Amino acid sequence: MLENANFSGVIAPVLTPFGEDGAPDPDRFIEHAEWLMGDGGCTGLAPFGTTSEANSLGIDERMDLLEELVESGMEPLSLMPGTGTTSLSDTITLTQHAIDLGCGGVLMLPPFYYKDPSEEGLFTYFAEVIDEIADDNLRVYLYHIPQVAGVGFSVDLVARLRGEFPETVVGLKDSSGDWSNMKAILDRLPGFELFTGSELYLLDTLRHGGAGTISAAANINGPMLRRLFEECEEPGAEALQERVSAFRRALQPYPTIPVLKAIVAHYRNDPAWAVLRPPNLALEPDRAAEAIRELADRDDFRLDFPETA
Amino acid sequence: MLENANFSGVIAPVLTPFGEDGAPDPDRFIEHAEWLMGDGGCTGLAPFGTTSEANSLGIDERMDLLEELVESGMEPLSLMPGTGTTSLSDTITLTQHAIDLGCGGVLMLPPFYYKDPSEEGLFTYFAEVIDEIADDNLRVYLYHIPQVAGVGFSVDLVARLRGEFPETVVGLKDSSGDWSNMKAILDRLPGFELFTGSELYLLDTLRHGGAGTISAAANINGPMLRRLFEECEEPGAEALQERVSAFRRALQPYPTIPVLKAIVAHYRNDPAWAVLRPPNLALEPDRAAEAIRELADRDDFRLDFPETA
């Protein structure tokens, strides 16, 4: 396992709740974040990931919500907000804002509108962001999710950025679902904080020197993930990984964000939690009930949300 | 040809110049826009299209630049700025801003981060934007460019939006390059203002009741496009279409935005025009010189920019 890591363990891409007016709801957001960092089992939080519907939020909404979270007393060093947009200037704005708030790191998508950008173009983009921020406290985690963003990071580009900015480009979230890509990065860049986006590879990641997982499921299944992280060198680790994987497979037939929100809404007894912002839509009630029933019937899993209502 | 159209003819997705500080340069922008609406042959302008590097600009930069353009005296009814982002709230912000400035229409990408959104989710998104703006002056042109955005509009979705909001969803820019898709829309929705994104299909579009073209090449080749638009029912129309197509094919070996900016930089004798914002990069000087030479050697084409320096 990694020493002196800025982040390690189980990081949740925090779900974003919406209020009755359709705006992000800071109270529900903070409540969920606090639960995640306590009984929820997480070691850190990545607000504004894909699971957070970050790209469905406005630039101002993202900054407002992050400020509210920090003002609520959440330790900013535990936060790795997503700040990567299609736009160099908006990305700089969000990154500067996160650094000003004292966040421990930022999770950065590549600029993802133009497809097939050159490696030189992507390198130049990140170099300009880093040079513009010009702050020793900046810790950039690259966010590789090519099947959604449509633009990813080649291993060569990751190595080049790491080589050019060794104190700043410190890690990567790999949501490709491709273990061979994660392994190639781990083999090539010892000490680099690789987080698997799929907990199916959590044990493999940790055994190859990776830092942990940033996974959608950490919004509801953090305690089990945390236990695997803590006990990864113990004899029962494989069996624990199998339980973690079984849980993920149980969720996989459902669209990720809608099913997670349906589950939180159910266990918190708070229907507002089930709402997504278009183009994403809430799960139909029948499907939501089915997912909740299936998970409740499992022996190996119990959700333990505090009820709000 | 269409009667009572809000827009018709040749519309340029205006290139965005950057100044020495890397920020969008309003003076060069306005100068180019004025040329386009004069000797440049255009009937309207679509600032903040794909060719404009819109998604590389910040939300604030886009609003500032549009304000400067309108304050310079440009007729806002001739403007169809791009306002579609990944985010419902930023899209509403940009759209409201364009309407407040009196723009004749807006060109809206679908929310393009999440791939394979449901048709219901996309419909709901556009319905929420339109309901939130709630202004009779709003004219939405859908922007179909699936090979870049990663998310497009099915013909059924176009028809549903048109049916639900007949006074508001008035047209579409089809940059798919797929004539069968354009024809399907034209056949199904008489009176709908379809603009082909590729001038290869300008004559076909006009003969099937379409409104014109919104094409990158209109940044430099507007006069020829305008002549084809005006003379589309005359005997020489096919020959003119062939010249238009030959010009486009001459540009096609080069990346579109870099080559257009290199050409403008050359003819305006203003190297700053050649700059793009990462992840897009300027054409290498050798390639730029080659493109300029090839176009200059053609009999059927002459660029007529005023020189600035």
Give the SS3 label for residue A78: helix
Question: Is residue B48 over pLDDT 70?
Answer: yes
- Measured CA to CA, the distance from residue B38 to residue B31 in angstroms comes to 11
Question: Is residue B299 over pLDDT 90?
Answer: no
CATH number of B9-252: 3.20.20.70
Domain A9-249 has CATH 1.10.3720.10: no
Q: Which residue has the tokens 């929820």?
A: A40
- Measured CA to CA, the distance from residue A113 to residue A283 in angstroms comes to 28
CB pairs under 8 A between A and B: 115
Laid out side by side, the sheet with A193-196 consists of A44-45, A9-12, A212-214, A193-196, A169-174, A140-144, A106-108
Tokens of A136: 């020793």
- Measured CA to CA, the distance from residue A160 to residue A165 in angstroms comes to 8
* pLDDT tens-digit map of B93-133: 999 999 999 999 999 999 999 999 999 999 999 999 999 99
Q: Which residue has the tokens 């018709």?
A: B8
Chain B residues close to A128, C-beta within 8 Å: 22, 278
Which residue in the set A88, A120, A278 is minimally distant from B281, CB to CB? Answer: A120
Residue of A16, A91, A141, A173 marked active site: A173
Say how many Å lie between the first and final Cα of chain B, rounded: 41
Judged by CB atoms closer than 8 Å, whether chains meet at B279 and A122 is answered as yes
Closest CA–CA distance from residue A217 to any residue of chain B (Å): 18
- Measured CA to CA, the distance from residue B105 to residue B108 in angstroms comes to 10
- Measured CA to CA, the distance from residue A131 to residue B137 in angstroms comes to 43
pLDDT, chain B, mean: 95
User: What secondary structure letter does DSSP report for B18?
Assistant: B
pLDDT score of B303: 67
Say how many Å lie between the first and final Cα of chain A, rounded: 41
pLDDT score of B224: 94
Judged by CB atoms closer than 8 Å, whether chains meet at A279 and B148 is answered as no
A113: annotated active-site residue: yes
Q: Identify the closest residue of chain B to A121 by CA–CA distance.
A: B279
* AA letter at B69: L
Is residue A51 a contact partner of residue A15, using CB atoms and an 8 Å limit?
Answer: yes
Chain A residues close to B284, C-beta within 8 Å: none
Chain B residues close to A58, C-beta within 8 Å: 59, 87-90, 93
Closest CA–CA distance from residue A82 to any residue of chain B (Å): 14
B201: annotated active-site residue: no
The pLDDT tens digits along chain A (309 residues) read 444 458 999 999 999 999 989 999 999 999 999 999 999 999 999 999 999 999 999 999 999 999 999 999 999 999 999 999 999 999 999 999 999 999 999 999 999 999 999 999 999 999 999 999 999 999 999 999 999 999 999 999 999 999 999 999 999 999 999 999 999 999 999 999 999 999 999 999 999 999 999 999 999 999 999 999 999 999 999 999 999 999 999 999 999 999 999 999 999 999 999 999 999 999 999 999 999 998 888 877 666 666 554
Instruction: Give the residue numbers in A contacting B (CB under 8 Å), as ranges.
Output: 22, 50, 55-61, 86-90, 93, 110-115, 117-118, 120-122, 124-125, 128, 147-150, 277-281
Residue of B51, B91, B168, B173 marked active site: B173
Which residue in the set B60, B87, B148 is minimally distant from A114, CB to CB? Answer: B148
Closest CA–CA distance from residue B127 to any residue of chain A (Å): 10
Instruction: Give the residue numbers in B contacting A (CB under 8 Å), as ranges.
Output: 22, 50, 55-61, 86-90, 93, 110-115, 117-118, 120-122, 124-125, 128, 147-150, 277-281
- Measured CA to CA, the distance from residue A185 to residue A182 in angstroms comes to 5
Q: Is the peptide bond before B110 cis (omega within 30 degrees of 0)?
A: no
User: What is the CA A268 to chain-centroid distance, rounded?
Assistant: 22
Judged by CB atoms closer than 8 Å, whether chains meet at A56 and B147 is answered as no
Q: Other C-beta atoms within 10 Å of B135: how many?
A: 13
Chain B residues close to A86, C-beta within 8 Å: 55-56, 86
| Closest to A40 (Cα-Cα) out of A19, A15, A77 | A15
Give the SS3 label for residue A141: strand
Closest CA–CA distance from residue A65 to any residue of chain B (Å): 14
Q: Other C-beta atoms within 10 Å of B284: how many?
A: 11
pLDDT score of A309: 45
B115: annotated active-site residue: no
Residue of B141, B143, B254, B267 marked active site: B143
What ranges in chain B are assigned the alpha helix state H? 26-37, 59-71, 88-100, 119-133, 146-149, 155-164, 179-188, 202-207, 218-230, 237-251, 256-267, 285-296
Chain A residues close to B125, C-beta within 8 Å: 278-279
- Measured CA to CA, the distance from residue B177 to residue B197 in angstroms comes to 7
Judged by CB atoms closer than 8 Å, whether chains meet at B148 and A113 is answered as yes
A114: annotated active-site residue: no
Question: Which residues make beta-bridge pairs with B47?
Answer: none
Closest CA–CA distance from residue B230 to any residue of chain A (Å): 33
Q: What is the pTM of this model?
A: 0.96
* pLDDT tens-digit map of B142-198: 999 999 999 999 999 999 999 999 999 999 999 999 999 999 999 999 999 999 999
Judged by CB atoms closer than 8 Å, whether chains meet at B58 and A87 is answered as yes
Give the SS3 label for residue B221: helix
Closest CA–CA distance from residue A117 to any residue of chain B (Å): 6
- Measured CA to CA, the distance from residue B52 to residue B64 in angstroms comes to 15
Question: Is residue B2 over pLDDT 50?
Answer: no
Is residue B32 a contact partner of residue B265, using CB atoms and an 8 Å limit?
Answer: no
Judged by CB atoms closer than 8 Å, whether chains meet at B118 and A281 is answered as yes
Judged by CB atoms closer than 8 Å, whether chains meet at A58 and B87 is answered as yes
Residue of A43, A51, A95, A143 marked active site: A143
Judged by CB atoms closer than 8 Å, whether chains meet at A279 and B58 is answered as no
Which residue in the set B55, B125, B280 is minimally distant from A278, CB to CB? Answer: B125
Laid out side by side, the sheet with B169-174 consists of B44-45, B9-12, B212-214, B193-196, B169-174, B140-144, B106-108
Chain B residues close to A111, C-beta within 8 Å: 55-56, 278-279
Q: Identify the closest residue of chain A to B124 by CA–CA distance.
A: A278
Judged by CB atoms closer than 8 Å, whether chains meet at A148 and B88 is answered as no
pLDDT score of B20: 87
| Closest to A57 (Cα-Cα) out of A92, A15, A100 | A15
- Measured CA to CA, the distance from residue B265 to residue B270 in angstroms comes to 5
Q: What is the pLDDT confidence band of residue B297, given thresholds at 50, 70 and 90?
A: confident
Cα dihedral sign, B146-B150-B155-B160: negative
Tokens of A7: 């982040």
Angle at B98 between CA B95 and CA B100, to 5 degrees: 110
- Give the residue from A60, A64, A86 with the most B CB atoms within 10 Å of its CB, the best one to mutate: A86
Kind of pairing, strands B44-45 and B106-108? unpaired
pLDDT score of A297: 85
pLDDT score of A28: 98
